[in-house]
Structure 1
Amino acid sequence: MKTLLINAHPDFNNKTSYSAYLQEKFLDKYRAQFPHQDLTILNLYEETIPRIEQDELLGIWQKQADNLPLTESEASLAQQSQALLEQFKAHHRIVIVSPLHNFNVTSRMKDYIDNILIARETFRYTESGSVGLMSDDYQVLLLLASGSIYTNQDRYTYLDFAPNYIRGIFQEIMGFDAFHLVRAQGTSVRSREEVLSEANADLEKAFPAFYQ
């Protein structure tokens, strides 16, 4: 079972962050259960992630649609985008490690999704709506750190955009079989011990379900 861990934290080398803690706890469990397997770690903020801009993906797609030649720079970006897509499709377990930025995933995570949410590759259009093409036992696990608490059925519950966004893109559009969520929440209002205790309990439940 090939696993791709996508770290979407801008400060991914900061080992004191809650996101880093979630990642290490996941890796501990992975190594214990799969000691002879390797997983791939992709740190988005140390990679070139093509963006939907006129001189990047948007211009490339327009030229490709018109069968026009790409410049050297455009060809390099197109190759990088294709490599991200192929890497993504080759892994049936996707782990996303992310802090919450302005109530959603980080901007680089959105850029990454723009490279793998591709019609006729990970989903397709039909007359009755889009159909996911990633339905062959693909699963995604979101390890999410947030300053506020989103499970108290209060005003923040309706602002819980990040999990709904990832679930919608991966499960509803691309057809993933399952979405799993582990939270380290309330990092700005609770003690570190309380936050991590709850996160550990969530991971204990989510990990076996993710690999069942």
Structure 2
Amino acid sequence: MQTLIINAQPDLTNKAHFSTKLQEMFLTKFAAQFPESTATILNLYDTQIPRIEAAQLLKVWEQGATLSSEEAVLAQTSTALLAQFKAHHRIVIVSPLHNFNVTSRLKDYLDNILIARETFKYTDDGSVGLMTDDYKVLLLQASGSIYTNDDRYTSLEFSRFYLQKMFEEIIGFDQFYIARAQGTATLPVKQVLASAAADLDSVFTQFYA
């Protein structure tokens, strides 16, 4: 199964981060399940990701625009990111929770794949997802607080709401899954990791079903 891991951790070389530990957990399970396969890893903070700015994606998307050499490179980069994304039927997003939402570079990445007529289309009845051929996404998320206690924090987990709606309702993925390392600011490390491992165990098989 073609798997793309999108790492949205800004401090990606620091192995102490819980999101990084979640990725390592996933890769261990992946290697055991698919010993002859290799997951593709895209580190967003070590990659040029075109942004919605006047001299970047806004210019690239402009109909009939004449592109400079730098803008042409941005166009090619964006096209390559989209092609890579569409070629993998299992998407794993690795990210810390930043101010209740996704990291800024992950938002930039999504702006390169949420493209009309590529991953969704507009109709008279609203948009329709085009990625309906057994695509699934798994969010591996680390957070200082706990978002599953049905309290004030639960409704503030904008990262999950945003990603789930974009992947399932906009571009048509079959399923969205999440495994969390949560409470990292308040709970013992062993407790956080044990809970995260159980969370991942509960969704891994379904993710690849």
Residue of structure 2 in register with 1:199 after alignment: 196
Aligned-partner residue type, residue 96 of structure 1 = I
Residue of structure 2 in register with 1:9 after alignment: 9
Aligned-partner residue type, residue 125 of structure 2 = S
**Structure 1: unaligned runs, 5 residues or longer:** none
Report how far residue 189 of structure 1 moved. 1.1
* Distance (whole Å) between structure 2 residues aligned to residue 106 and residue 200 of structure 1: 23
Pick one of 126, 129, 135 that aligns with 1:132. 129
Once superposed, what is the RMSD of the aligned Cα atoms? 0.6
* Distance (whole Å) between structure 2 residues aligned to residue 14 and residue 60 of structure 1: 34
- 1:149 partnered with 2:162: no
Aligned-partner residue type, residue 54 of structure 2 = Q
Aligned residue for 2:98, secondary structure, equals: coil
Aligned residue for 2:111, secondary structure, equals: helix
- TM-score w.r.t. length of structure 1: 0.97
Report how far residue 161 of structure 1 moved. 0.7
**Structure 2: unaligned runs, 5 residues or longer:** none
* Distance (whole Å) between structure 1 residues aligned to residue 47 and residue 65 of structure 2: 27
Aligned-partner residue type, residue 85 of structure 1 = L
* Distance (whole Å) between structure 1 residues aligned to residue 139 and residue 85 of structure 2: 15
Aligned residue for 1:188, secondary structure, equals: coil
Count of residues paired in the alignment: 209
Residue of structure 2 in register with 1:24 after alignment: 24
Contact 2:90 2:135 in 1 (8 A): yes
* Distance (whole Å) between structure 2 residues aligned to residue 179 and residue 68 of structure 1: 37
Pick one of 80, 84, 88 that aligns with 2:77. 80
Deviations 1:20-79 (A, max 9, x none): 1100000000001101011100000000000000010012212xx1x2321101000000
- 1:59 partnered with 2:94: no
- 1:94 partnered with 2:91: yes
* Distance (whole Å) between structure 2 residues aligned to residue 169 and residue 68 of structure 1: 28
Aligned-partner residue type, residue 74 of structure 2 = L
Contact 2:59 2:65 in 1 (8 A): no
Pick one of 161, 164, 169 that aligns with 2:166. 169
Residue of structure 2 in register with 1:38 after alignment: 38
* Distance (whole Å) between structure 2 residues aligned to residue 103 and residue 204 of structure 1: 25
Contact 2:143 2:181 in 1 (8 A): yes
